[in-house]
Amino acid sequence: MKRALITGITGQDGSYLADLLLAKGYEVHGIVRRASTSNTERLGDERADAVYDGTATDNLHLHHGDLNDGLALSRIVADVRPDEVYNLAAMSHVQVSFDMPEYTASTNGGGTVRLLEAIRAAKLDCRFYQASTSEMFGRTPPPQHEDSTFHPRSPYGTSKVFAHWCTINYREAYDLFAVSGILFNHESPRRGENFVTRKISRAVARIKVGLQDELALGNLDAVRDWGYAPEYVEGMWLMLQHEEPTDFVLATGTGTTVREFVETAFDHAGLDWRDHVRVDERFQRPAEVHALIGDASKAHRVLGWKAQTHAGDLARIMVDADVALLEGT
């Protein structure tokens, strides 16, 4: 039985990856940071409570830790001795990273080094996945692929470039099977509420049932390549099963503006977006990434991975899920 360690297991991707690996028969260990209220909703609070109580029936194990606490990371890595490590934890919100640049650098950049050092100190022969991002390309025009120039436009993007190069450095310096997955935006009903797709789908559902009338957004012209998160975590796993450690872009290859996503989401609920959406300067960023559209042909050729769900279907899946959530079904 393979053993995996996931940082960021309580996040969107971490929770889908845990589901995937448990279904494949893995023993799954996740690092959860301490919070004053529950942060295990995406894993299922009851399931997480059972893990903490020692009454769990599945193969999920949770450990308290934080990417800013190197000692805890070292202890967990040495105790668990995983075959595969997925480093998904991060301060992942681009706009917030402008308000918290030091924390972002420490968590996303320093945290990756702490984890890599913990693996090296434990002399672990494991495979390591780093959650890199299309935000590293920033100002480089699309289509962006594995060899495109990095020009990040936020503290988030710069911290991830550092972590990306640390991953490659540990591969070259210590022969660690370390892989960087450069993933374009991927969303789902489990997406955090302050990312634009979920903010839109949630607002559409709330407007539909009369709980809200207006939706304030920032730049409607930004172009993103939005895919479906469960398909992307499958891609992460495939990267670690490949015989060679090498980096991959995962993307749909289709660009959609925020405005087009809004229009599709409102249309799906039978609403006219122009009656409800207002542009608010507060959601504009000090430096914007205008267009990200990925070229994932390497992942298709080498791993057989291809995105199946594109932005239109994604908007409809997310609106349906938020309507169902409000209706309690």
d(CA 318, CA 231): 15
19 counts as binding ligand F7E under rule CB under 6 A? no
Name residues contacting ligand F7E, limited to 83-102 (CB under 6 A).
92, 94-95
Name residues contacting ligand NAP, limited to 13-52 (CB under 6 A).
13-14, 33, 35, 39
89 counts as binding ligand NAP under rule CB under 6 A? yes
Virtual torsion, Cα 4, 10, 13, 15, nearest 10 deg: 70
Q: Minimal distance in Å, beta carbon 210 to ligand NAP?
A: 29
Burial class of residue 117 in the structure, from the number of CB atoms within 10 Å of its CB (0-12 exposed, 13-18 middle, 19+ buried): middle
Which among 34-42, 120-128, 191-199, 233-241 is the span making contact with ligand F7E, rule CB under 6 A?
191-199
- Grouping H, G, I as helix, E, B as strand and the rest as coil, residue 32 is strand
d(CA 196, CA 217): 8
Binds ligand NAP by CB under 6 A, chosen from 21, 28, 67, 80: 67
Residue 174 annotated in active site: no
Query: What one-character DSSP code corresponds to residue 311?
Result: H
Q: Show the CA angle centred on residue 302, arms to residues 109 and 124, nearest 5°.
A: 45
**With respect to ligand F7E, which residue has the nearer C-beta, 153 or 171?**
153
Whole-number Cα distances in Å, 82 to 76, 113, 222: 10, 17, 40
d(CA 310, CA 57): 36
- Residue 199 near which of ligand NAP, ligand F7E, none (CB within 5-8 Å, type-dependent): ligand F7E
Q: Minimal distance in Å, beta carbon 144 to ligand F7E?
A: 11
254 counts as binding ligand NAP under rule CB under 6 A? no
Q: Check: CB of residue 184 under 8 Å from CB of residue 252.
A: yes
Binding map of ligand NAP across residues 126-165, x = CB under 6 A, - = no contact: -----x-x--------------------------------
- Residue 180 near which of ligand F7E, ligand NAP, none (CB within 5-8 Å, type-dependent): none
φ/ψ of residue 171, rounded to 5: -65, -45
Q: Show the CA angle centred on residue 253, arms to residues 6 and 86, nearest 5°.
A: 10
Q: Which two tokens stand for residue 34?
A: 């301490």
208 counts as binding ligand NAP under rule CB under 6 A? no
Pick from 130, 115, 139: nearest CA to 167: 130
Binding map of ligand NAP across residues 165-184, x = CB under 6 A, - = no contact: ------------------x-
112 counts as binding ligand F7E under rule CB under 6 A? no
DSSP 169-195: HHHHHH--EEEEEEEPPEE-TTS-TTS
Which among 46-54, 73-81, 87-95, 268-276 is the span making contact with ligand NAP, rule CB under 6 A?
87-95
d(CA 153, CA 148): 15
The residues of the shown chain that bind ligand NAP, judged by CB under 6 A, are 7-8, 10-14, 33, 35, 39, 66-68, 88-92, 107, 131, 133, 183, 185-186, 192
The residues of the shown chain that bind ligand F7E, judged by CB under 6 A, are 92, 94-95, 133-135, 184-185, 194-196, 199, 217-219, 222, 224, 258, 283, 285, 288
Q: Which residues are catalytic?
A: 133, 135, 156
